[in-house]
Amino acid sequence: MTNDSSKGFIAFVERVGKRIPDPVIIFIYFLVGALVLTAFIGGLTFETFGASGQPVVHEIRNMLAREQVVWLFDNALLANWLGFGGGVLGVILIVMLGVGIAEHSGLFGAILKKVSRGLPEKWLPLLLVFIGIMSSIATDAGYLILIPLAGLLYAGLGKNPLIGMAAAFAGVSAGFSANLIPATPIDVIIGVNAQVFAEAQGVPFVNARGEALTPATMHYYFILVSTFVLATVGAWVTLKFVGPRLEQKPYQIPAELKITDFDVTPQEQRGLRAAGIALVLSLAAVFALAVGPLATFTNEAGQQVTPYLNNVILLITFVFAAIGIAFGVASGKFRSMLDVVKAMVKQMDTMGYILVLTFFCYNFLGVLSYSGLGAYITYLGANLLVALGLQSFPVLLLIGFVLVTALINLFVGGLTSKWMLLGPIFIPMLYMVNPAMTPDLVAAAFRVADSATNIITPMMSYAGIILAFMRKYNPQLSFGEMIAMMLPYSIAFMLVWTVLLVGFFSLGIPLGF
């Protein structure tokens, strides 16, 4: 009975989703709507806490005023589009060059023939979700590399490629805050700022036992357990809900992906051996760079700088290009460097939609931040939580914060920007409401809520890009249908992850060390 209801609900979401416009149109509407809205509420002021604990007065800018119109035109191309998120568009394009060489050389097809023989299909979802979760250490690599590869893997098995892509997307994005590795970049961002927010307002930076917290590892036990829990939950959702539903949906295999013949040819066998050698040599080169020119050092300000991690996308692209060229040359697919260039150009031919999408998306997100609308949405969310009056019920207070943060995440993208807005408000506020709400607990609740709803919001920077990847196999796929596809993961991750956090809290288990 429950299963039928679930299918009925998802079917309803799908029907509604088909009425949702294309993401490009959505962001055009959002951009125009934001500009018009600021014309009505421009000059509105509100007050939040800054990182130093001092009140910060925000004012909504009227984006249709002369000086703001000038800002729009001055920043539309470089700052808001090409430079958004530290140049994330450039990262996408560079990665696709390397992946394009490997894909059009025939490497992926040959690998699929190899791995599809005897590979236990029932373990694939668990593997993909787990690798997706772990890929957060390499920032954007999971989105740009793992998700397309997951689609190729399922295509090679004769299954709907969207099944693999959905599982990988769930791991990469919804499980973003989990990992087996301590002190990841996200741990540092959340932890160090949590300490600043707490100490600036007189909140002791200690856990529930009164022990001093280490910012980079204060959640390690929690994210360690979360990795296995979320991987299991993601695999279960794939096998029980997403997989069976997508198997009934039509899909197409691009002409360049030839998977009808599963016998590895002698040419492909030579190519795979060459690619294996190239993989070893390219990884050795990456290691040499990591301990040589790109080695970790301490700058003049006493801060540790890790150039090899900062450039991990370029290094991964280099590896893909190296093994793709090696396979292409050895198999006879590439007979000259011009063939390699043509492979990159062919890959770029598929990026036109992404360029159009990101222009409107990133400009809207830029306006949201610059105008103050993003901060205002966060401010309203904070007031809503206070109005619920849950001071005497710490578990309900914790759940309430998770739900409010998840709601805000649907409208405001960017983990760091949201944490810089929510952290200074909620860390002192929740502690003052109930001392059981220690900084590490509040920060962990933020991580749960922010990650679990990433896969169902257009505000996530890669949402439209993942849709473009999926349209390779289903050109008619709408954004609403993608939301319907990912909704079971989001609901399951939110429920189970929140229960896990409440369990840690209720049983007094330290979140980290």
- pLDDT tens readout for residues 391-433: 678 898 899 889 988 988 887 666 766 787 678 778 877 887 7
Q: Which residue has the higher pLDDT, 304 or 287?
A: 287
What is the band of 183 on the pLDDT scale with cuts at 50, 70, 90? confident
Question: How many distinct structural domains can be found in the chain?
Answer: 1
Q: Which residues contact 32 (CB under 8 A, 6 or more apart)?
A: none
Gap between the Cα atoms of 109 and 25, Å rounded: 35
For 426-474, the pLDDT digits (tens) are 887 788 778 899 999 999 999 999 899 989 987 787 888 899 999 999 9
Average pLDDT (235-259) is 87
Q: Please check whether residue 442 lies inside any domain of the structure.
A: yes
The DSSP letter of residue 214 is -
Average pLDDT (75-90) is 82
Average pLDDT (294-315) is 84
Gap between the Cα atoms of 430 and 444, Å rounded: 13
Average pLDDT (149-169) is 90
Give the pLDDT of residue 83.
Answer: 85
Give CA torsion, residues 445, 439, 197, 416, to 10 deg: -30
Q: Which two tokens stand for residue 483?
A: 């939301």
Q: Which residues contact 168 (CB under 8 A, 6 or more apart)?
A: 128, 129, 131, 132, 142, 146, 147, 149, 150
Average pLDDT (316-334) is 92
Q: Please check whether residue 197 lies inside any domain of the structure.
A: yes
pLDDT above 90 covers a percentage of the chain that reads 41
Q: Which two tokens stand for residue 468?
A: 């473009």
pTM value? Answer: 0.72
Q: Please check whether residue 512 lies inside any domain of the structure.
A: no
The H or E element containing residue 366 is: helix 352-371
Give the pLDDT of residue 325.
Answer: 96
For 362-375, the pLDDT digits (tens) are 888 788 889 988 77
Give the pLDDT of residue 168.
Answer: 93
To the nearest whole number, what is the mean pLDDT of the chain?
A: 85
Q: Which two tokens stand for residue 287?
A: 């290691």
Whether pLDDT at 261 is above 60: no
Question: What residue type is 302 in one-letter code?
Answer: G
256-265, 354-363, 376-385, 429-438: least confidently modelled range: 256-265
Cα-to-chain-centroid distance, residue 73: 29
Give CA torsion, residues 105, 107, 109, 111, to 10 deg: 180
Give the pLDDT of residue 4.
Answer: 44
Q: Which residue has the higher pLDDT, 169 or 380?
A: 169
What is the band of 1 on the pLDDT scale with cuts at 50, 70, 90? very low
Cβ burial 277-306 (10 Å sphere, 16+ → b, else e): ebbeebeeebeebbeeebeeeeeeeeeeee
Give the pLDDT of residue 321.
Answer: 92
Whether pLDDT at 44 is above 60: yes
Contact 450, 409 (CB under 8 A): yes
SS3 (DSSP) at 311: coil
Give the pLDDT of residue 3.
Answer: 42
Q: Please check whether residue 513 lies inside any domain of the structure.
A: no
Contact 459, 142 (CB under 8 A): no
What is the band of 480 on the pLDDT scale with cuts at 50, 70, 90? confident
Range of the structural domain that residue 172 is part of:
2-507
Cβ burial 379-392 (10 Å sphere, 16+ → b, else e): bebbeebbeeebee
Give the pLDDT of residue 190.
Answer: 87
Gap between the Cα atoms of 462 and 246, Å rounded: 22
* Longest distance between any two alpha carbons in the chain, whole Å: 72
The DSSP letter of residue 336 is S
Q: Which residue has the higher pLDDT, 231 or 113?
A: 231
Average pLDDT (216-227) is 94
Give the pLDDT of residue 433.
Answer: 76
Whether pLDDT at 6 is above 50: no
